[in-house]
Amino acid sequence: MATKTKTAGKAKVPAKKGAAKQLEDLFEDGLKDIYWAEKALTKALPKMGKNASSPELKKAIADHLTQTVEHVTRLEKCFAAIGKKAVAKKCDAMAGLLKEGEGILEETEPGSVRDAGIIAASQKVEHYEIATYGTLAAFAKVLNQKSALALLLKTLAEEKKCDELLTSIADTALNTEAIKN
């Protein structure tokens, strides 16, 4: 574990060996992170779909699984565009969000309450992805990685659309129905 030193009353964390020194390094690390996250999501979404009861939610999850597989492919194209091999690095944030989603399934009865929980967990994932793709797109822009930028912006738009769809499914009656249970 790294030791912390004090500077002006605040904890300063020393960089570990191999830490990013340039924005290019941070950009590549971010791609590795979201690549792992998207691949993990392709394994988690089918379980969420099987546990959803709303036909509209089931369809949204199935559609997003198809889209997530495309996101993995698109990330592989991003790696190629920057001249790097596609490598996944465990994303602790996504691992935690997926674990939380598992917990929601275990802690809710099947039906509208579970569906509301699935939407809540899914939107947390979407918001993480939106933040990540937005950041990576900003990095790609300043690094003048135009091909990667175009790919990242396309995925960012799809993640935002998915988040909006989940909100509309919850707002249309699902959350109201969950109150009645």
What is the per-residue pLDDT across 60-75, written as a single tens digit (0 to 9) for each?
999 999 999 999 999 9
Give the 3-state secondary structure of residue 148: helix
Q: Residue 162 sits in which domain range?
A: 23-180
Alpha-carbon distance 118 to 123, whole Å? 8
- Domains in the chain, number: 1
- Buried residues in 120-144 as b, exposed as e (16+ CB within 10 A): ebbbbbbebbbebbebbbebbeebe
Look up the CATH number of the domain holding residue 52: 1.20.1260.10
Does residue 103 carry a pLDDT above 80? yes
Asked if residue 126 belongs to a domain, the reply is yes
Asked if residue 72 belongs to a domain, the reply is yes
CB atoms inside a 10 Å sphere around CB 55 = 8
Two structure tokens written together for 46: 């089918």
Asked if residue 57 belongs to a domain, the reply is yes
pTM of this structure: 0.89
